[in-house]
Amino acid sequence: MFPHALLTILALSRSRFDGTIATLMSFGWSQPDTIAAFRTVPSIWCYSKKNLSDKMTFLTKEAGCELTYIIGRPVLLTFSLEKRLRPRYEVMNFLDQNKLLDRGHNHLSYVMLSEERFRKKFLFLLRKEKFIAQYDSYVVAVQGKHDVNVVSTAEAGRLIRGPGKRVQPGAAQAPA
């Protein structure tokens, strides 16, 4: 990590570095917490204040993560809010609410999975249980076209059903 931290320090201005610390501290991080995060994941200093604020707000308010959980796992702040954090949280929340999960899963465990492993481990439950609209909503969100759960049932019917699967006639095939 030292080379990454060194490159980050060289690439950032002092005001930008201090701005990131101020942003994290505005959410309740202490100065030692921010230093520890910098030591483990220096790349979070490359994100904008707005980006970090949006992720912290989502993780604390919507996903219900405790501040200590995020501080202990600053790598969460490196994932895309719109293409990874929110879509996966929505899928897991939906599965949990519909009692399709046999045990609880922490945020980091499902965020860290590769796209392929996440699909095999969790998305198949949506398809298996005939929640195709929610499955398609996730696919669209990951592709960066819409937020999760904003796809109408009619739109969801036109989306790709996954690699190697048939698409309804007249639908353009999206890249996998």
Query: Mind listing the pLDDT tens digit for each residue in 95-147?
Result: 888 888 877 788 899 999 999 999 888 888 877 667 777 878 888 888 875 44
> Does residue 81 carry a pLDDT above 60?
yes
What pLDDT is stored for residue 4 in this prediction?
Answer: 58
Is residue 140 within 8 Å of 146, Cβ to Cβ?
yes
Of 10 and 85, more confident: 85
pLDDT band for position 54 (cuts 50, 70, 90): very high
Is residue 77 within 8 Å of 41, Cβ to Cβ?
yes
Amino acid present at 20:
T
- Domain range spanning residue 136? 81-157
In a domain, 103, yes or no: yes
| Average pLDDT value for residue range 73-79 | 96
Q: Report the C-alpha gap between 54 and 157 in whole angstroms.
A: 31
As a three-state string, the secondary structure of 1-67 is CHHHHHHHHHHCCHHHHHHHHHHHHHCCCCHHHHHHHHHHCHHHHHCCHHHHHHHHHHHHHHCCCCH
Q: Which of 58, 74, 90 is the last residue of a domain?
A: 74
Q: Which of 74, 109, 138 is the last residue of a domain?
A: 74
Same domain assignment for residues 95 and 65:
no
In a domain, 170, yes or no: no
State how many domains the chain has.
2
Cα-only R_g, the chain: 19
| Average pLDDT value for residue range 46-66 | 95
